[in-house]
Structure 1
Amino acid sequence: MKYYRIIFSLLAIALLFSSCQEDDLGLESMMVPSNILVNTDISTDGSGIVEFTVSADNAISYQFNFGDGTTGSTLDGTFTKRFSKNGLNTYLVNVIAYGTGGISSSRAIEIEVQSDFSDPETKQFLTGGSSKKWYVASYLPGHLGVGPSSGDGFDSPIYYQAAPFEKAGTEASSCFYTDVLTYSTTGEDNLTYELNNNGQTFFNVDYVGQFGGPTGSGDQCIDFDTSGVRNATLSPASSGIATSRGTQIDYSNAGFMSYYIGASSYEILSIDENSMYVRAVMGNNPALAWYVKFTTLSYDLQNAETGGGEETGFESDFDTLLWESDYQNATSLDTNTWNFEIGNNNGWGNDEKQYYTDSNTSIIDGNLLITAKRESESGFDYTSSRITTQDKFEFTYGRIEARAKLPAGAGTWPAIWLLGSNFNEVGWPETGEIDIMEHTGNSQNTIHGALHYPERSGANADTGATVIENASTEFHIYTVEWSAERIWFLVDGEVFHMYENNADSPFNKDFFLILNVAMGGTFGGAIGDDFQESSMEIDYIKVYQ
């Protein structure tokens, strides 16, 4: 660890000042910085923010050691630092002024900073109350991704998203999935973080050469041990991303989360008991943000659960057909199985624009069609249908498969989903909701799966997404595998989201099926001026136990 810290410090200094030094410096030009002045503006609102302004004669740059395990650098002498340890704390800050030729001098000052930030729920999720292990979620699409740092959270890894298990099986990147990240409590307000990467670190291509790896070969696993224990603190995130939790994790001693990109602060986009999604701005390129998904499932267990991306694919625990609804020999919807829900019901809680009728379903060529139309009905400009199996077919656990082709057009919002059978007694989201498939014409070919439950509902739902081809021109199989242990979401047999079920969740009782096509609303978005009508086509729905 001592060697590791020295290397990082030397690299930081070298990167910062290499472009500022001449190749041949005479002794007369190598002047020691002097008269170092350090001014601070310390916030009094509990945010922990301190504005540093430093000046010195003969200085061309400055470096800070903030006394909390973190460092910073600046050329113009100004730096904004957030101290995130809770309470009123004293820090010994060392400021180093560098002159030409790398000659330096320093000055230390002592400051007192108050920080009142607290996010006990995130701390509980991270540590489980004492100590908890996390792993890269290799089985999920987009477990590693990159996009513009100016982007908005979940929609931003648009430049690249890793496919499930993409980094497995190659010597260059296989170490990425075997990292173990352990978070532990060290008191009321503090955390420790231990990275165990078995002596190999997965470096971004921009840093490979600096740590002895082969340049020009992309990201690499290098025999460079960055394992060890560091302090971790939670602080307010400053990006302003709408989908962020609003909390970031700051690591001491150049700590990072499995994939080295020169960053030590990670913003939490989402976290629960068994999954975590973070972003960090790249150290040498502030225009890029990298995204990483983590899970409490070890790599071996991820392989065992999903087949490890091999041709065998996901292996279901359910193979006995319990119930099916297909339409090969039907001429109309079977109302012994399905109910029609009629009306708009105050936008169904989502500001939806359609009025549901019992005449927007049909069976054509062996497929059930639910058709949304631009037409006036009962004061609304659009019609559609919503059907349920409430009180007619309800079940607990199983594999639910629906083969479907989705409507097209801006504003369409088809869904295949489950709602708790005690909905009328306890309401929503207490009853629980499992969204097998949601899609919007305003984000064509992006498939969403979601869970809604207390504290994770509406815009804060427990969600995952994947991108497919031809969602509205070809049939695809949308699946949820639901057990007392886990809930998996798949499209065409490929996992894209997982939830660790538990005894306290609402997902351990009977649920019923719902099919509908909404228009507009909080998720469907703006309806296209050219929209006339479009259908969701269902080939079959099957439930296995």
Structure 2
Amino acid sequence: MKLPYLLPWLGAGLLAIFSCSKSSTHPLPSGQDQPSITISDVTLARQPRQNINFRFYLGLSASSTQEVTVNYHTEAGTAIAGKDFIPDSGVLHFAPGSTQAYVDITVIADSLRRPNQTFYLVLSDPNHATLAKNKATGTILNQDLPYLPTSDSGYTSPLSYPGYRLVWHDEFDEQQLADSNWNYEIGGNGWGNQELEYYTSRPQNVFLSDGKLIIEARQESYGNNAYTSARITTQGKHEFQYGRIDIRAKLPVAQGLWPALWMLGSNIKQVGWPQCGEIDIMELIGKNPREVVGSLHWKKADGNVATFNNKYDLSQGDFSQAFHVFSLLWSADSLQILVDDIPYVKAARQDLSDGIYPFDQPFFFIFNVAVGGNWPGPPDQTTVFPQRMFVDYVRVFQQN
């Protein structure tokens, strides 16, 4: 080939080679060649006696030959800086070749049971990297903590009555419920009333705090149930026949809640319900926050359930706002149910004569908070959980 023909060809080839080299070394869009920083959320249970660290892990999408830095600082949410967590800020360094680092934020010890809280770790001003996520959430779990005070206002009753002696009581002043006094009933089978809760013995649902027994109903999946609560009894441990019983309590009043302080005949395993008899010292249906019902149930001669009851209405306020004393005056031939020393159910033996009279034998206590059921109906959008029943004491007096 003659040179004049070769030069144009070489010129075109060199131009093509030059054009490819220029394209391959053109700078990529800003940040596209840098690793990105991510940060993970943290959720931990608060501790009642010691501070704990919430460790926020940061990661790089790829290692870098250069040191990567990023600024961080804490930001309050529902958690308060200086009270719930120790605020912090600084610069975090990723050494060359490293893809993971972390920041520890101290959460301050507390024992108060309350709603969970949040705070944030915020990232800014990355160097040799970009931010894929610039904020992580720290969630402080408080809902299982052991301390839950409540106002002690309301009606009270004495530790003695003329002609009576105190034969048994529980003031709930210990650290935990005494096994020598109480049983836990467990399960979620509806309890004969189409109830919706699963009863547990967990401290999430039943615990002592500040001299009170607290039964807490929660909206949570447990077993095959959507709610949890607790039901405790003195069956086989403390059973009583006649006397005066005082129970001081403050009640949950939301739709779908069914707190009860009641008694069953101790021979229930032998004769079954309702032949054993039932004394409802207090039942409240949440949609009626100012009203409690006292009832007597037994088995009629035809086998059906007999009921003798009445209701008591507060003149002002509702039963969640203060403590009230729910009482039973019980003798061989009569029963009275009272609220704050006002009797509103009065029954003589002759009023309960259809069938076998069961109220002349020992009975045991049951304290529980049901969720849903045939009587109260289910919770609705107005029902806020958790819901709690506080019991200050139970006292049994018998005549001298």
What TM-score do you get using the length of structure 1 for normalisation?
0.41
Indicate whether 1:515 and 2:361 are aligned: no
Matches of 2:223 and 2:389, distance apart in 1 = 23
In the alignment, which residue of structure 2 is the partner of 1:320? 165
What is the deviation of 1:531? Answer: 2.8
1:419–1:434 CA contact under 8 A, matched in 2: yes
Q: How does 1:292-371 map to 2 (within 5 A)?
A: 319-328=164-173, 330-344=174-188, 346-359=189-202, 360-371=205-216
Matches of 2:179 and 2:207, distance apart in 1 = 13
| Aligned residue pairs, count | 229
Q: CA RMSD in A?
A: 2.1
Amino acid at match of 1:420: G
In the alignment, which residue of structure 1 is the partner of 2:332? 484
In the alignment, which residue of structure 2 is the partner of 1:379? 224
In the alignment, which residue of structure 2 is the partner of 1:536? 389
In the alignment, which residue of structure 2 is the partner of 1:470? 318
Matches of 2:214 and 2:229, distance apart in 1 = 10
SS in 2 for 1:443: coil
The structure-2 alpha-carbon separation of the partners of 1:453 and 1:394, relative to structure 1 and needing over 3 Å to count, comes to same
Larger displacement relative to structure 2 (473-482 or 454-463): 454-463
2:253–2:284 CA contact under 8 A, matched in 1: no
2:297–2:305 CA contact under 8 A, matched in 1: no
2:299–2:305 CA contact under 8 A, matched in 1: no
Amino acid at match of 2:375: F
Indicate whether 1:409 and 2:254 are aligned: yes
Amino acid at match of 2:325: I
In the alignment, which residue of structure 1 is the partner of 2:97? none
SS in 1 for 2:375: helix
Matches of 2:194 and 2:360, distance apart in 1 = 30
Matches of 1:408 and 1:373, distance apart in 2 = 14
Give 1 or 2 for the bigger CA radius of gyration: 2
SS in 1 for 2:345: strand
What is the deviation of 1:510? Answer: 0.7
Matches of 2:234 and 2:374, distance apart in 1 = 25
Matches of 2:326 and 2:310, distance apart in 1 = 13
Amino acid at match of 1:531: V
Identify unmatched segments of 5+ residues in structure 2: 1-159
Indicate whether 1:496 and 2:344 are aligned: yes
Q: Deviations over 1:250-283 (max 9, x none)?
A: xxxxxxxxxxxxxxxxxxxxxxxxxxxxxxxxxx
The structure-2 alpha-carbon separation of the partners of 1:460 and 1:506, relative to structure 1 and needing over 3 Å to count, comes to closer
1:442–1:525 CA contact under 8 A, matched in 2: no
Matches of 2:298 and 2:305, distance apart in 1 = 12
2:217–2:387 CA contact under 8 A, matched in 1: yes
In the alignment, which residue of structure 2 is the partner of 1:428? 273
SS in 1 for 2:248: strand
Amino acid at match of 2:357: S
What is the deviation of 1:501? Answer: 2.3
Matches of 2:300 and 2:206, distance apart in 1 = 35
Matches of 2:199 and 2:192, distance apart in 1 = 14
Matches of 1:482 and 1:318, distance apart in 2 = 14
Matches of 1:511 and 1:388, distance apart in 2 = 11
Matches of 1:340 and 1:487, distance apart in 2 = 28
Matches of 2:263 and 2:163, distance apart in 1 = 18
1:410–1:531 CA contact under 8 A, matched in 2: no
The structure-2 alpha-carbon separation of the partners of 1:506 and 1:318, relative to structure 1 and needing over 3 Å to count, comes to farther
Q: Equivalent pairs: percent with the same residue?
A: 41
Q: How does 1:7-18 map to 2 (within 5 A)?
A: none
2:265–2:277 CA contact under 8 A, matched in 1: yes
Determine which structure has the larger helix proportion and give its number. Answer: 1
Matches of 2:252 and 2:276, distance apart in 1 = 28
Matches of 2:304 and 2:361, distance apart in 1 = 21
Matches of 1:458 and 1:354, distance apart in 2 = 27
SS in 2 for 1:461: strand
Q: Deviations over 1:118-142 (max 9, x none)?
A: xxxxxxxxxxxxxxxxxxxxxxxxx
The structure-2 alpha-carbon separation of the partners of 1:489 and 1:423, relative to structure 1 and needing over 3 Å to count, comes to same
What TM-score do you get using the length of structure 2 for normalisation?
0.55
Matches of 2:262 and 2:234, distance apart in 1 = 11
What is the deviation of 1:434? Answer: 0.2
1:407–1:535 CA contact under 8 A, matched in 2: yes
Q: Deviations over 1:261-312 (max 9, x none)?
A: xxxxxxxxxxxxxxxxxxxxxxxxxxxxxxxxxxxxxxxxxxxxxxxxxxxx
1:518–1:524 CA contact under 8 A, matched in 2: no
Q: Deviations over 1:182-222 (max 9, x none)?
A: xxxxxxxxxxxxxxxxxxxxxxxxxxxxxxxxxxxxxxxxx
What is the deviation of 1:426? Answer: 0.5
Matches of 1:460 and 1:519, distance apart in 2 = 24
